[in-house]
A and B are shown apart, each in its own frame.
Chain A
Amino acid sequence: RKEVEQDPGPFNVPEGATVAFNCTYSNSASQSFFWYRQDCRKEPKLLMSVYSSGNEDGRFTAQLNRASQYISLLIRDSKLSDSATYLCVVNASPLNSGGYQKVTFGTGTKLQVIP
């Protein structure tokens, strides 16, 4: 079983649609969780952190379920500019530890927003 699993997609959705991505992780000791966005042939960029209480940033909502070891990302009112690959990222290092960060990346879910 992969440490971090995502549906590779692609998810083809029309502009204005709501789309949700899921991610599961296997290491129950994981401490922090993130969604990154990667545009074609570019570096990954942090989209948002994910908290158990759920967090929202504009049209984006992230949720963490520790019991099920499951992370989600919801995008509302999709824009053409949302087209990218979304990486689920899990960090097993203790919070606020300053050393090497044991980070595992999912292979990403590709989103294509269609006009």
Chain B
Amino acid sequence: SQTIHQWPATLVQPVGSPLSLECTVEGTSNPNLYWYRQAAGRGLQLLFYSVGIGQISSEVPQNLSASRPQDRQFILSSKKLLLSDSGFYLCAWSVGSNAINTGELFFGEGSRLTVL
């Protein structure tokens, strides 16, 4: 079966510090990968998605970047965090082009970031 794992689960960082969140998927190949952010009391905002290694699409201009160095690895980064980067970050995957896709997304456990 497929699993998705992201880490760290919780982090508190000062303004201006760097960020690296990592996400890995097991049990599937060539998944589509996504990074979402959920601010307190708000819906999920898509930040980045990737349909393959090295292929990154950004949905909103921001202080963050994403990379996909391996098929099942997705990384969210920042060189200098802002207060507004605080939130709940969720990695997700969906079935890639080599399998039947019924449209669902599957989420990792989430990473709660507080920028002080």
Seen from chain A, the residues whose Cβ lies within 8 Å of a Cβ on chain B are: 31-32, 34, 41-46, 49, 87, 89, 91, 93, 95-101, 103, 105-108
Seen from chain B, the residues whose Cβ lies within 8 Å of a Cβ on chain A are: 32, 41-44, 46, 49, 51, 57, 88, 90, 94-110, 112
Complex contact A101–B101 (CB within 8 A) = yes
Say whether, besides A93-B103, A97-B101, A105-B44, A43 and B108 are in contact (CB < 8 Å): yes
Distance between Cα atoms of A32 and B18 in the complex (Å): 38
* Chain B contact residues: helix, strand, loop or mixed: loop
Residues of A within 8 A of B32 (CB): 98-101
Contact with A98, one of B41, B99, B105, B106 (Cβ below 8 angstroms): B99
Distance between Cα atoms of A107 and B42 in the complex (Å): 6
Contact with B100, one of A89, A96, A105, A107 (Cβ below 8 angstroms): A96
Contact with B43, one of A100, A101, A106 (Cβ below 8 angstroms): A106
Min distance, Cβ B3 to any Cβ of chain A, angstroms: 13
Closest to A45 in B: B107
Complex contact B106–A42 (CB within 8 A) = no
Sort A-B residue pairs by CB-CB distance and give the 10 closest, nearest first. A98-B97, A32-B103, A107-B43, A43-B107, A91-B103, A105-B44, A101-B94, A43-B110, A105-B43, A100-B49
Distance between Cα atoms of A7 and B30 in the complex (Å): 36
Min distance, Cβ A69 to any Cβ of chain B, angstroms: 17
Complex contact B112–A41 (CB within 8 A) = yes
Min distance, Cβ A34 to any Cβ of chain B, angstroms: 6
Complex contact B102–A32 (CB within 8 A) = yes
Residues of B within 8 A of A87 (CB): 43-44
